[in-house]
Structure 1
């Protein structure tokens, strides 16, 4: 078994709370060997807490000296594209925190820096990897729950004004968007994992209460290639916080309610009135393992791909999917028109900037 040498770039809260535990949970497959941060005080605290043996303030110096196999990028969104490209060009695989880039144009620059057989850049969308989601996806894809018809995808969270007073937050040029981009993106990706490709988006976005450039709430209606329709709500104004996903299919309703991560018990299956086979109904909830949605659940899949020299999950087109739907949502909200995938091309201003240079 190969042990991959891992570097963390950006030593803020998400690195310590999620990335370091995931590296440690991987056991002998991954070893945290170094960290990078432009803030020497923050870097020193991270070193003291994690015991990482050596640290750098320069990304290029770290790559040249340490030659890590994998770099986990935990910096603010505006820095992701340049960091990812630098790491890929140095021969390191990359795991990017969400949002992976500020625009489709930036994401496509990252993809262009990948090489056949690796290195590749993958995105942290951990909700796909919990056992509850993987089980639901298998049931839906097998047809066991019938045909998908209606879906709800809600990320209704609360962030006070002080959260957006951090200099890079709430700005199009540095965060890329508001709760749609920075918070709802996880649930949106899970919705796409379960329902597949979308064909049309109609949306609205507004800034109702917080002082910032971006929206603090958005709503969208999405039509999928299957014909199913979904309602998406993203908010940072909601005192009772909840992440909620509901899919109504011809044979059953599937729901998951959580906040920042789920376990099997957070998933519910309700049979349609005509479905009366109790053994069948019980089988929907019979998941042999209970793996919560977390960075620790996703990282082994990336390491497996590194073992094989193959494209990992949530890289390339799969890693781009949520960003693409969010681009369509913003385009629809700012233009007041429905949006299809074909419109999101390099010649369109929204391909390059999420707000299309329109002020909210």
Structure 2
């Protein structure tokens, strides 16, 4: 097993990647370089973890042949250019959400991937944890049966102090609001468990904060499998909750309500009858605990790089989540139901701010 040398670009959420993603796996990763334009924060985080490599130059990182993985944790507005540059430099790339700010941007990244030596893994850490992974195993085993309906609630709180950070709350730099920066995680969990959406009707509004982007949203989805799902999001909840509830023919799943780790146990898994419960026990009775969030996602990424498992999150996964965002924006703008897939003929394909005619 080879130890992969990592350069982290951006020490904000990048610090969480160190704590949860890399320190638990000293046999798999070495954080060799930190890169941040804020030299005080760069020194603080590097000193905290004893990281010797420090730079304010992204180009310097890309030119370093000793770096295997470039982990991009910068503000969303520059993800596209940095991902493309890192892939073209031959690096493996990890990128925080949102991968970019439009479907055209995702498709550009996918074109670059086709000839890149490295592999790109977008971050969707909420997929990992005992609760969500048990649900995934039960569904894939065919036990859950026909999907009926679901509800997904992202009820978080963001005040003016949060938006005092200059790049937040602006289309050009944050790329979107609650749909893009906050609810994207839970919506990816929905798609991960229930498959892609087929039709979308949505509304967005800015009701909580004095910002450019939306901080409230709701949507009604028809999934490809026929199920109906409702999405609700706000950044004005006095109790922060992330909640996923999915009703199938034989099983109802409900996540824990922890805002930032809904994949962890305890999940409620309600069987329709004793026979279904026996089948569930048969597939999860030997369950081994799974570390949540970045810890497991990074472990799976290393296994993939070693040829020992699939890529845990792909660009196609990121596109599917951003396609849902695009459809909600387009529906809210037009007042119409939007059919998926969303392609270049959509007025929102290249720019979510473009008006729908």
Aligned residue in 2 for 1:293: 292
Give me the whole-angstrom Cα distance separating, in 2, the residues matched to 1:265 and 1:23. Answer: 22
Aligned residue in 1 for 2:335: 336
SS for the counterpart of 1:161 is coil
Aligned residue in 1 for 2:267: 267
Residue 286 of structure 1, CA deviation: 4.0
Give me the whole-angstrom Cα distance separating, in 1, the residues matched to 2:181 and 2:32. Answer: 29
The reply to whether residue 92 of structure 1 matches residue 91 of structure 2 is yes
Q: Which runs of 5+ in 2 are unaligned?
A: none
Aligned residue in 1 for 2:320: 321
Aligned residue in 1 for 2:152: 153
SS for the counterpart of 1:238 is strand
After superposition, residues 168-317 of structure 1 pair within 5 angstroms as 168-257=167-256, 258-262=258-262, 265-272=265-272, 275-277=273-275, 279-280=278-279, 286=285, 288-308=287-307, 312-317=311-316
Give me the whole-angstrom Cα distance separating, in 2, the residues matched to 1:331 and 1:264. Answer: 33
Select between 89-98 and 302-311 the one with higher mean Cα deviation.
302-311
The reply to whether residue 61 of structure 1 matches residue 60 of structure 2 is yes
Give me the whole-angstrom Cα distance separating, in 2, the residues matched to 1:225 and 1:216. Answer: 28
Give me the whole-angstrom Cα distance separating, in 2, the residues matched to 1:47 and 1:147. Answer: 50
The reply to whether residue 345 of structure 1 matches residue 336 of structure 2 is no
Give me the whole-angstrom Cα distance separating, in 1, the residues matched to 2:294 and 2:39. Answer: 26
8 Å CA contact 2:154–2:242 kept in 1: the answer is yes
The reply to whether residue 355 of structure 1 matches residue 356 of structure 2 is no
Residue 163 of structure 1, CA deviation: 0.8
Give me the whole-angstrom Cα distance separating, in 1, the residues matched to 2:237 and 2:282. Answer: 35
**Pair 1:136–1:311, CA change in 2 (3 A):** closer
Residue 348 of structure 1, CA deviation: 2.6
SS for the counterpart of 2:349 is helix
8 Å CA contact 2:149–2:229 kept in 1: the answer is yes
After superposition, residues 27-176 of structure 1 pair within 5 angstroms as 27-115=26-114, 118-176=117-175
Give me the whole-angstrom Cα distance separating, in 2, the residues matched to 1:95 and 1:239. Answer: 33
Give me the whole-angstrom Cα distance separating, in 2, the residues matched to 1:286 and 1:101. Answer: 40
Structure 1 vs Structure 2 CA RMSD: 2.0
Residue 310 of structure 1, CA deviation: 8.4
SS for the counterpart of 1:240 is strand
How many matched pairs? 354
Residue 355 of structure 1, CA deviation: 2.9
TM-score normalised over the length of structure 1: 0.92
Aligned residue in 2 for 1:3: 3
SS for the counterpart of 1:5 is strand
Residue 175 of structure 1, CA deviation: 1.0
SS for the counterpart of 2:99 is coil
8 Å CA contact 2:130–2:265 kept in 1: the answer is no
Give me the whole-angstrom Cα distance separating, in 2, the residues matched to 1:235 and 1:15. Answer: 25
8 Å CA contact 1:247–1:253 kept in 2: the answer is yes
Give me the whole-angstrom Cα distance separating, in 1, the residues matched to 2:291 and 2:329. Answer: 31
Give me the whole-angstrom Cα distance separating, in 2, the residues matched to 1:26 and 1:216. Answer: 36
Give me the whole-angstrom Cα distance separating, in 1, the residues matched to 2:279 and 2:348. Answer: 46
Q: Which runs of 5+ in 1 are unaligned?
A: none
**Pair 1:271–1:308, CA change in 2 (3 A):** closer
Deviations 1:313-332 (A, max 9, x none): 32231232111111111111
Residue 117 of structure 1, CA deviation: 7.6
8 Å CA contact 1:80–1:96 kept in 2: the answer is yes
8 Å CA contact 2:90–2:116 kept in 1: the answer is no
Deviations 1:175-210 (A, max 9, x none): 111111100000000000001121100001111121
